[in-house]
Amino acid sequence: MPQQVVMGATLQCSFGVTPSALVVLPVNRVRCEGSIAANIMDHEPLVNIMPFGMCTSQANPEVAAATAAALGTPTPMPCVPATLTPWVPGAVTVLLGNEPSLDNVSRCVCNWGGVVTVADAATRETQIP
């Protein structure tokens, strides 16, 4: 059964080199296992989703330019997440701030083609039906 995702959850991008942590602002005033609970709208780049080290996606203009400058040798560049759409599908059975709760099976897509997933929800006991 899916788990509720909270502040400090570990995220991973399919084109990122290192994991990142989810930041959840306390606007919904809901806590879960002592941390602030997340909903699907917690997707803002550099607010909720922090960089994943280096980006390896050729769809990222910075990576493409660096690769071209290196005469075709794939050259990663610093990650700047471009997650402009909410997490999907979310847990519609639990609403936080009138939005579906964020569970550990949801995904968020970066404009550069990466898929951000939840590697560790930072909860152990809270499951969402």
Phi, psi of 93 (to 5 degrees): -80, -15
**pLDDT 10s digits, 12-37:** 999 999 999 999 999 989 999 999 99
For residues 28 and 4, the answer to whether their CB atoms sit within 8 Å is no
Report domain extents, the chain.
Answer: 10-120
**pLDDT 10s digits, 60-90:** 999 999 999 999 999 999 999 999 999 999 9
Instruction: Report the C-alpha gap between 83 and 44 in whole angstroms.
Output: 6
Q: Check pLDDT > 90 for residue 6.
A: yes
Classify 65 in phi/psi space as left (phi over 0), alpha (psi -120 to 50) or beta: alpha
Measured in whole angstroms, the distance separating CA 36 from the mean position of its chain's CA atoms is 16
Instruction: Report the C-alpha gap between 124 and 48 in whole angstroms.
Output: 21
